[in-house]
Chains A and B, each alone.
Chain A
Amino acid sequence: MDPDFRGDSDHHDGTSDATPGGYPKQRRPGELGFAIFLTVASLYLLYDAYGISGFTALSGAGSIPMATTFVMAVTALIVGLRTARLNKVAGETIANDILPVMVILFIGFLIVFGLLLKPLGFVLTAALFLTVSIKVLAHKGWGYTLAVSLGSLVVIWIIFRVVFTVLLPAGILPEAEFIQFFRNLFSGGAS
């Protein structure tokens, strides 16, 4: 790999890291729109930050927020102007390369996950989520999908509920009774 390569490496060879994608010399679809959005949002935040304490005191609660939002607005504007001057990348579209249907679908899944988490409880929601998403991604039969998703859910549940003792919404499953049943079983065996 070229050490100076700062292109869209994640996109083509699957490298994973916090190194940003994007091309230094070209503009990706939607990039200008994003920069404009950032500029406008930053300006609004700057206005909001001004409302905190105005210019009353340098040590006021609003000084740092005003300074940072000012920096945000200026840098976003510079980025926007620079981006506007670049040529568009040939052969990339928003629907194919930036926001494919699959990504939108998964964002939707996650929103639904959040909505169902409290009423249904963690175990059922997670089972549903894993099954549906593995089915969508792996293109394999129901047997494989269910085995993998339920199997990994059991492992995750044991690790987090039992080892890390994380409290997750129980929902409609009698989870606490279930754990207690096992505790009783073990303590019963020990005594």
Chain B
Amino acid sequence: METLMAILTIFTQPQLLLLVGIGTFAGIYIGAIPGLSVTMAVSILISFTFSWDVLPAISLMVGIYMGGVYGGSRTAILLNIPGAPSAIATAMDGYPMAKKGEAGQAIGVTTVMSFFGGLIGILVLALAAPFVSEFALTFQPRDYMLLAVLGILLVGSLSSGSLVKGIFAGAFGIAIGAVGRDPLTFAERFTFDLRLMEGGISFIAVMIGMFGVSEALQQLQNVNMKAVRQKIDKIVPSFGTIKKFLPLSLQTSSIGVIIGALPGTGGDIAALMAYDHAKRVTKNPEVPFGEGAMEGLVAPETANNAAVGGAFIPMMTLGIPGDAVTAIMIGALFIHGLNPGPMLMIDQPDMFWFIVGALMTANVFMLIFGLTGIKIFTKIVEMPRSIIIPLILLLSIVGAYAVNNSITDVYWMLGFGVFGYFMRHYGYPLGPVILGVILSRLLDDNWRRAIISEREDLGRFFEGIFTSPLSLVLFISVILIFVSQTPLWTSMKKRLFRKATS
């Protein structure tokens, strides 16, 4: 009963309900406008909402997250430009449908399926998280350490590009997180004897720089791109259409939740894997994949929204983010004096159930806003980049400044923005940097706790790993990710495949 009350908190305070609504609405547009990403929006928002109470701040962010994951599909369908990475797969069949004049239908199906996927993700979160957190209480410091490493590696390896670059990015993030005075021994780390480095680097400045400034600088090269106008008619899909895709959407939603729940992987990977899955299980699609198959819309859209609920599972139970956005949300919870992890679930279960309620509400808002207001939508998306880019930069500066009222943070943000700009150009993923910064403390603390409890003996440390099934599984996963990148593995795989084909 108390749980139910906590879930319904959001309805008892109209202000919170309104914020979730505004957040979802804004999220849809932020997700849809190329050049604005949800990660960027949430990281800028942290700095603006940090003087608020925690509930309104979280309401707004949850709304933006939910709406943004969905919003990316709109432009993917209409313009073949995925507004968010999680919508890359949606463009593959969505845009061909739009070209045939079926844009309205495509958007309708996408909306309903996103709602459905989101719902499943939230249900799994509500059911699984309490168990996971109970299980998490048995975790040893070394398990946390291994989980943190695994999370950073997973983003690096699954997201895109080369794993080596991903590992570099993750290690770089951990190093940034270590800057300043060590909280345990008070030793200076990477301060170069400068006083302003002693307090460390504000992770918000790093985040806004990497996702706001570097993005905006990159968009400068696309300033003169014109948006193409589309005509849209009826969008609410028939019940028959939805019923037809129900079995597939259940499967792809499950994929979404699982991928989302893996530390470090989010909606973009979930969507691509679900698309791949749909391609394999759909034997006779009415329209071939890549030419406007409905299945090709249903799969990624259910999966990426289901991944939202999934991503909250490790975040709420272990304090380890499921993806970049939840990494930033952990930062937001820190700022509000909360410490995500198993103890949060036990000490303040209300907080968890409140988030579940907020997600649920955001999901409903997404359905409502998704099926209406399409006319205004096309207008807003056509906003020229020559206005959007300066505005993003302005918001980034205000955001970086506002947290500590310090110009230094603005320069940090600018520095990381320029650095991130080069990283983008040369194929270094940015997600692992943020994850590294967020997980740096957790990794450091738990490593030291683990090794001190083993009396500084590496042998006993490894003995501990090999005698605990959980640590062993985590350790082997970490090793496997490394091995999968070595030349030895590639040649082995080649040999195996040759055997299979011959």
Contacts and interface: CB of A to CB of B under 8 A. Distances in A.
Interface of A: 1, 3, 6, 8, 10-11, 13-24, 28, 30-31, 34-35, 38, 45, 48-49, 52-53, 57-65, 68-69, 71-72, 75-76, 78-79, 82, 97-98, 100, 102-103, 106-107, 109-111, 113-114, 117-118, 122, 126, 129-130, 133-134, 137-139, 148-149, 152, 156, 160, 164-168
A124 to B, nearest CB: 13
Greatest chain A CB density within 10 A among B89, B394, B402, B405 is at B394
Greatest chain B CB density within 10 A among A8, A21, A160 is at A21
Contact of A148 (B174, B387, B430): B387
A57 B456 contact: yes
A34 B276 contact: no
Q: Which 3 A-B pairs have the closest CB atoms?
A: A22-B427, A17-B85, A137-B386
B218 A10 contact: yes
B291 interface: no
A166 B48 contact: yes
Contacts of A38: 168
Contacts of A1: 80, 82, 88, 91-92
Given A38-B168, A52-B189, A137-B389, A107 B217 contact: yes
Given A52-B188, A160-B48, A166-B398, A21 B425 contact: yes
Contact of B83 (A16, A100, A107): A16
Contacts, number: 254
Contact of A164 (B34, B49, B225, B410): B49
Nearest to B440: A64
**Secondary structure class of chain B's binding surface, majority of residues:** helix
A24 B161 contact: yes
A134 B447 contact: no
A111 B414 contact: yes
Greatest chain B CB density within 10 A among A58, A64, A71, A129 is at A64
A110 B397 contact: yes
Contact of A49 (B190, B421, B425, B430): B190
Given A15-B82, A137-B389, A58 B187 contact: no
B426 A34 contact: yes
A61 B182 contact: yes
Nearest to B388: A137
18 contacts: A14-B222, A16-B83, A18-B430, A20-B160, A22-B427, A28-B426, A45-B175, A63-B448, A72-B171, A75-B167, A76-B168, A79-B165, A100-B220, A103-B221, A137-B387, A138-B386, A160-B402, A164-B51
Interface stretch (B3-11, B35-43, B330-338): B35-43
Nearest to B443: A64
A107 B418 contact: yes
B170 to A, nearest CB: 8
B220 A16 contact: no
Contact of A160 (B88, B211, B391, B398): B398
A61 B184 contact: yes
B37 A79 contact: no
Contact of A58 (B89, B221, B456): B456
A59 B425 contact: no
B273 to A, nearest CB: 10
B82 A22 contact: no
Interface residues of B, number: 99
Nearest to A76: B168
B162 A133 contact: no
B168 A133 contact: no
Contacts of B88: 1, 3, 15, 17, 19
Contacts of A28: 425-426
A82 B82 CA distance: 31
A134 B220 contact: no
Contacts of A148: 387
Given A11-B222, A168-B398, 12 more contacts: A18-B159, A19-B268, A24-B161, A24-B427, A61-B184, A72-B175, A79-B165, A110-B213, A129-B394, A156-B391, A156-B394, A156-B395
Nearest to B272: A3
A11 B393 contact: no
B288 interface: no
A167 B427 contact: no
B192 interface: yes
B285 interface: no
Contacts of B164: 75, 78-79, 82
Nearest to B279: A3
Greatest chain B CB density within 10 A among A20, A69, A106, A160 is at A20
Contacts of A65: 175, 178, 189-190
A98 to B, nearest CB: 6
A48 B429 contact: no
A60 to B, nearest CB: 7
A175 B82 CA distance: 41
Interface string B249-281: 000000000000000000010001001100000
B341 to A, nearest CB: 19
Nearest to A14: B222
B414 A68 contact: no
Nearest to A78: B164
B185 interface: yes
Contacts of A57: 456
A114 B427 contact: no
B165 A75 contact: yes
Interface string B435-462: 0000010011001100110001010000
B394 A126 contact: yes
B425 A22 contact: yes
Contact of B427 (A6, A76, A152): A6
Nearest to A109: B393
A134 B386 CA distance: 6
Given A82-B164, A134-B386, A117 B410 contact: yes
